[in-house]
């Protein structure tokens, strides 16, 4: 007890309060009031309440954070570490600490000052966090990347890749779109999914059949059920059907197709007939015409734009297909004559623009090693690896590269001047046919040149096996048609021939498109084409008769000679000019027919045009042109020796001229053509060899052309005659074909007409072609007949009376000269052409056939 309390009990109770003794510790509070003693309450609840309060205060405060080193990642990487067990241990430790603090008693602790027992509660330990310390760059960059593993119950779970980039949103549904807008003005649609999708039609048909089959099966299952159950199954559907899940899954797997539209930069320059041609080509090469045939023949006549149509097709296939964002082909090959390789490359740039496509043009400038390496790289590339999708190569070079191509897949093969493939037995045909390409297009203005065997070769190249074997074609089609076309054919043979012709046309017409030059009359100036029959000069006639009466010629006519072609070539040269012959070897003993002063061995002698009937007419044409017009002219011949005579004639008269023949390299030819086409050029005569430059060259700088001698193959002449009347021509064109009257040249011209009639029947499907020639007529090559025009006599023309044409033909057919205007020398006075009109004063021109484009 306190001492102040004891002193107060011993003091006198009668003393006043002021006199009571004071204690230093008592504070002078006087006598205390006596109350009942109570035992002090225990301090346990007080201590518990205080501990709880301190705990709540500690929890509400933000704990102190201390960043120190710890073993978090070290323990995480050990194989014995179990995150679940560690978490449970921490919870148990925390719970034990709390229970120990709550059950603490006074017995095991010392009393505090003033009789109160108190426990020191230390603050909670600071929370620890891992400290990131960057590793060295050498360690990080050299270590291979591994996907972090996930452990569960001590086992690493297998990770399945989703192939989805981290942090990238899932792409939305993109509606497929065509490369070019099909609804744009003047858009040309080649393939429309709403009309041309045969696969969709087959799918709809398949779904219809499946639905019918299911209905039949359901009816069979419900046959034993009552009517109520049937009605219930008709109304109630599954949950997937009600939620549309089945429909969504079907639409998800369904392939959406888009229209195929021609590139607008090409489509805007296409003419109506060219649009039709591109659509025809696309339908053929994509199997829309026939699912088992992917080839066709573009047989338009010269000047109708076959090149542009094929470029449009090739560009469309390289860039588009009905499947969105996918092209139809990866690579294409253009094979053509060597003189046209660079021209094709220029055409691609002209119509598609610079840089649109990078063709590999093999034009002879590269070495063999460079060409071989480029072709091997081209063959090995696929898809987006293809840098040069188009290869332009000549027939001869492609034949040598056939082994390098091997089995490499080619998307499209374009064969320009495809009549080079008329013989299915030559090496070029075999090499090209071995190329792994199912889409093949032949470009030729003359699909039939000589006979139906050549026609079969072209069709068989485009669609192998479509017409059967060659023997089957010969027996089923060729023999009946040829027998029916003969002038001496019986009615039964004609009937069988017509039936075979109709059957053949029905099979092949869907793979061949043929338009004539008449379409160009809408876009080009008028063309006047003439077949000019010229009589022989007296000197030529005497030499011709001397040859016919020679013993060697008579033996040849009896079938004893062994060189008929040599004799025919000699007569063709004689018809051009006597200077082309070696008199001592070709016509021995003809010295008596020489005119006065003529020495065939004198090389200094000038060319005398009067010694040849055709050359005299040509000389008058050139003189009149030089004096009265500013026209330019192209002179074409099948013999380079004839071009030499033309060259001498130009030198003698000081005419400016240019010459192109087989001796000129391919690189120089285009420069020569550009120089002649220049309106300001001084040269107004272009000498051209039909064998070297008759194909593909545009000589629109001239508006007159003379084909000086005919060829056995009408295709060669047709190609040569089309050099001036082409796109870009601004003047009226005058074309002349010179034929020596009554000679072997007229027989050749008749043979050409026979072949063209056959082509008109088979290719052009014309039924009103007259049968003018027989096999016997065509074999009489060495007979000379003195007549104004033997060909006109064979026509048995009913429109001409008294040597004059009294009735015009209802329609002029370009391939049938019997429908042309028939003019004699006296009728030339009223002709439109100034040059021919001047020939009425001379007897050299005996007759003329005229065709006018309208």
Q: Which of 485-494, 636-645, 790-799 has the highest mean pLDDT?
A: 636-645
**And the tokens for 173?**
């549904």
> Average of pLDDT values for 597-603?
81
Checking if the pLDDT of 32 tops 60, the result is no
Q: Please tell me the predicted confidence (pLDDT) of residue 137.
A: 78
Checking if the pLDDT of 635 tops 90, the result is yes
**And the tokens for 315?**
């560009």
For the chain, the domains span 44-128, 198-253, 260-515, 522-594+608-852
pLDDT, tens only, 655-690: 999 999 888 877 788 888 889 999 888 899 999 988
CATH code for the structural domain at 260-515:
3.40.50.10810
**And the tokens for 437?**
């390409």
Higher-pLDDT residue of 200 and 751 is 751
Q: Where are the alpha helices (DSSP H) in 103-178?
A: 137-142
> Average of pLDDT values for 467-484?
83
| Residue from 717, 43, 204 nearest 419 by CA | 717
Residue 110's pLDDT band, with cuts at 50, 70 and 90, is very low
Checking if the pLDDT of 279 tops 70, the result is yes
Checking if the pLDDT of 231 tops 70, the result is no
| CA gap 384, 131 in Å, rounded | 49
Higher-pLDDT residue of 721 and 26 is 721
**And the tokens for 657?**
């001229």
Checking if the pLDDT of 834 tops 80, the result is yes
Q: Please tell me the predicted confidence (pLDDT) of residue 714.
A: 77
pLDDT, tens only, 193-230: 888 887 766 767 777 787 788 777 766 655 555 565 55
> Average of pLDDT values for 537-559?
80
> Average of pLDDT values for 347-368?
88
What residues contact residue 417 under an 8 Å CB cut-off, 6+ apart?
336, 337, 340, 443, 444, 695, 696
**848 in Cβ contact with 836 (< 8 Å):** yes
Q: Please tell me the predicted confidence (pLDDT) of residue 770.
A: 44
> Where does residue 2 rank: exposed (0-12), middle (13-18), buried (19+ CB within 10 A)?
exposed
> Average of pLDDT values for 788-816?
81
> Average of pLDDT values for 148-170?
69
Q: Please tell me the predicted confidence (pLDDT) of residue 291.
A: 85
| Residue from 752, 690, 694, 687 nearest 723 by CA | 694
Q: Is 335 helix (H, G, I), strand (E, B) or coil?
A: strand
> Average of pLDDT values for 708-737?
86
| CA gap 556, 569 in Å, rounded | 14
Checking if the pLDDT of 705 tops 70, the result is yes
pTM of the model: 0.65
Q: Please tell me the predicted confidence (pLDDT) of residue 168.
A: 62
Average per-residue pLDDT for the chain: 79
For the chain, give the number of residues: 854
The C-alpha angle 766, 771, 775, rounded to 5 degrees, equals 130
Q: Please tell me the predicted confidence (pLDDT) of residue 776.
A: 47
Checking if the pLDDT of 373 tops 80, the result is yes
Checking if the pLDDT of 767 tops 90, the result is no
Higher-pLDDT residue of 20 and 623 is 623
Checking if the pLDDT of 261 tops 90, the result is yes
Checking if the pLDDT of 87 tops 70, the result is yes
Q: Please tell me the predicted confidence (pLDDT) of residue 557.
A: 65
Higher-pLDDT residue of 701 and 217 is 701
Q: Is 233 helix (H, G, I), strand (E, B) or coil?
A: helix
Poorest-pLDDT segment among 231-245, 639-653, 819-833: 231-245
pLDDT, tens only, 33-51: 556 666 565 555 566 666 6
| CA gap 823, 457 in Å, rounded | 39
pLDDT, tens only, 412-467: 999 998 888 888 888 889 999 999 999 999 998 777 656 778 888 888 999 988 88
Q: Which of 142-151, 457-466, 509-518, 707-716 has the highest mean pLDDT?
A: 457-466
Poorest-pLDDT segment among 6-10, 166-170, 337-341, 593-597: 6-10
**284 in Cβ contact with 296 (< 8 Å):** yes
| CA gap 239, 6 in Å, rounded | 97
What residues contact residue 106 under an 8 Å CB cut-off, 6+ apart?
42, 43, 44, 117
Q: Please tell me the predicted confidence (pLDDT) of residue 108.
A: 46
Q: What percent of the chain has pLDDT over 70?
A: 76
Beta strands in 616-713 (DSSP E): 633-637, 657-660, 685-689, 704-707
Q: Please tell me the predicted confidence (pLDDT) of residue 577.
A: 92
Poorest-pLDDT segment among 189-193, 229-233, 372-376, 782-786: 229-233
> Average of pLDDT values for 761-769?
48
Q: Backbone phi, then psi, for 611, in 5-degree steps?
A: -75, -10
Cα dihedral sign, 471-476-481-484: positive
Higher-pLDDT residue of 645 and 86 is 645
Poorest-pLDDT segment among 221-225, 274-278, 430-434, 509-513: 221-225
* Same fold yes or no, 260-515 and 522-594+608-852: yes
Higher-pLDDT residue of 166 and 249 is 166
| CA gap 731, 711 in Å, rounded | 28
CATH code for the structural domain at 522-594+608-852:
3.40.50.300
**And the tokens for 583?**
């008199």
Checking if the pLDDT of 361 tops 50, the result is yes
> Average of pLDDT values for 781-789?
78
Residue 235's pLDDT band, with cuts at 50, 70 and 90, is low
């Amino acid at each position: 007890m306190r001492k102040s309390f004891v002193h107060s009990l011993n003091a006198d109770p009668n003393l006043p309060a002021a006199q009571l003794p004071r204690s230093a510790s008592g504070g002078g509070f006087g006598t205390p009031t006596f109350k009942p003693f109570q035992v002090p309450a225990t301090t346990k609840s007080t201590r518990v309440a205080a501990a709880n309060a301190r705990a709540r205060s500690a929890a509400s405060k933000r704990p102190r954070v201390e960043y120190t080193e710890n073993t978090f990642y070290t323990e995480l990487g050990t194989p014995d570490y179990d995150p679940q067990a560690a978490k449970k241990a921490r919870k148990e430790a925390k719970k034990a600490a709390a229970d120990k603090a709550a059950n603490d008693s006074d017995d095991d602790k010392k009393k505090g000052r003033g009789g109160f027992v108190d426990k020191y509660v230390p603050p909670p330990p600071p929370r620890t966090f891992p400290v990131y310390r960057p590793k060295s760059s050498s360690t990080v960059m050299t270590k291979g990347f591994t996907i972090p593993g996930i452990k569960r119950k001590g086992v690493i779970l297998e990770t399945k890749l989703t192939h989805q980039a981290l942090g990238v949103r899932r792409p939305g549904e993109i509606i497929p779109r065509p490369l070019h807008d099909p609804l744009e003005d003047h858009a040309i649609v080649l393939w429309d999914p709403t009309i041309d999708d045969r696969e969709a039609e087959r799918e709809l048909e398949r779904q219809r059949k499946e639905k019918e089959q299911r209905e039949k099966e359901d009816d069979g299952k419900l046959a034993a059920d009552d009517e109520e159950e049937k009605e219930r199954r008709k109304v109630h559907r599954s949950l997937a059907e009600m939620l549309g899940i089945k429909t969504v899954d079907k639409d998800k797997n369904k392939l959406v197709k888009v229209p195929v539209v021609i590139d607008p930069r090409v489509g805007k320059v296409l003419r109506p007939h060219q649009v039709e041609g591109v659509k025809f080509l696309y339908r053929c090469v994509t199997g829309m015409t026939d699912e088992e045939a992917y080839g066709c023949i573009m047989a338009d006549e010269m000047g109708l734009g076959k090149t542009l149509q094929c470029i449009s097709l090739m560009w469309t296939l390289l860039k588009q297909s009905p499947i969105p964002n996918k092209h139809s082909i990866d690579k294409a090959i253009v094979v053509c004559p060597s003189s046209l390789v660079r021209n094709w490359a220029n055409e691609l740039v002209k119509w598609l623009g610079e840089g649109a496509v990078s063709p590999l043009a093999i034009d002879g400038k590269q070495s063999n090693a460079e060409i071989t390496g480029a072709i091997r790289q081209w063959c090995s590339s696929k898809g987006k690896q293809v840098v040069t999708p188009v290869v332009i190569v000549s027939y001869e070079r492609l034949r040598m590269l056939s082994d390098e191509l091997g089995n490499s897949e080619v998307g499209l093969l374009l064969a320009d001047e495809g009549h080079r493939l008329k013989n299915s037995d030559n090496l070029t045909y075999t090499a090209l046919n071995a190329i792994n390409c199912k889409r093949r297009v032949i470009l030729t203005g003359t699909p039939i040149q000589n006979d139906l065997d050549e026609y079969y070769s072209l069709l068989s190249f485009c669609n192998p096996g479509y017409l059967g074997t060659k023997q089957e074609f010969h027996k089923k089609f060729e023999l009946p048609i040829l027998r029916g076309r003969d002038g001496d054919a019986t009615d039964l043979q004609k009937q069988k021939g017509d039936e075979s012709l109709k059957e053949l046309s029905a099979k092949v017409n869907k793979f061949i498109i043929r338009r004539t030059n008449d379409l160009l009359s809408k876009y080009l100036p008028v063309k006047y084409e003439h077949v000019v029959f010229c009589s022989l000069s007296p000197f030529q006639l005497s030499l011709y008769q001397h040859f016919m009466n020679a013993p060697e010629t008579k033996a040849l006519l009896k079938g004893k000679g062994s060189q008929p072609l040599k004799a025919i070539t000699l007569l063709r040269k004689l018809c051009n000019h006597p200077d082309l012959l070696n008199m001592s070897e070709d016509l021995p003993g003809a010295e008596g027919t020489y005119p006065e002063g003529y020495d065939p061995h004198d090389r200094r002698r000038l060319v005398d045009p009067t010694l040849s009937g055709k050359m005299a007419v040509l000389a008058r044409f050139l003189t009149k042109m030089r004096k009265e017009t500013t026209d330019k002219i192209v002179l074409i011949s099948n013999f380079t020796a004839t071009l030499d005579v033309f060259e001498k004639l130009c030198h003698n008269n000081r005419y400016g001229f240019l010459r192109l023949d087989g001796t000129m390299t391919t690189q120089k030819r285009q420069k020569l053509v550009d120089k002649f086409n220049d309106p300001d050029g001084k040269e107004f005569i272009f000498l051209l060899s039909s064998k070297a430059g008759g194909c593909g060259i545009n000589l629109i700088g001239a508006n007159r052309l003379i084909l000086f001698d005919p060829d056995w193959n009408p295709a060669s002449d047709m190609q040569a005659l089309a050099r001036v009347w082409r796109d870009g021509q601004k003047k009226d064109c005058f074309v002349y074909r010179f034929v020596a009257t009554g000679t072997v040249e007229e027989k050749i011209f008749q043979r050409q007409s026979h072949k063209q009639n056959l082509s008109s029947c088979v290719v052009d499907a014309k039924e009103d072609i007259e049968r003018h020639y027989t096999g016997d007529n065509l074999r009489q090559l060495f007979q000379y007949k003195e007549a104004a025009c033997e060909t006109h006599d064979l026509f048995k023309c009913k429109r001409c009376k008294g040597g004059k044409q009294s009735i015009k033909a209802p329609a002029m057919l370009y391939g049938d000269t019997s429908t042309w205007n028939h003019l004699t020398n006296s009728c030339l006075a009223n002709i439109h052409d100034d040059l021919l009109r001047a020939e009425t004063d001379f007897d050299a021109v005996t007759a003329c056939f005229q065709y006018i484009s309208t």
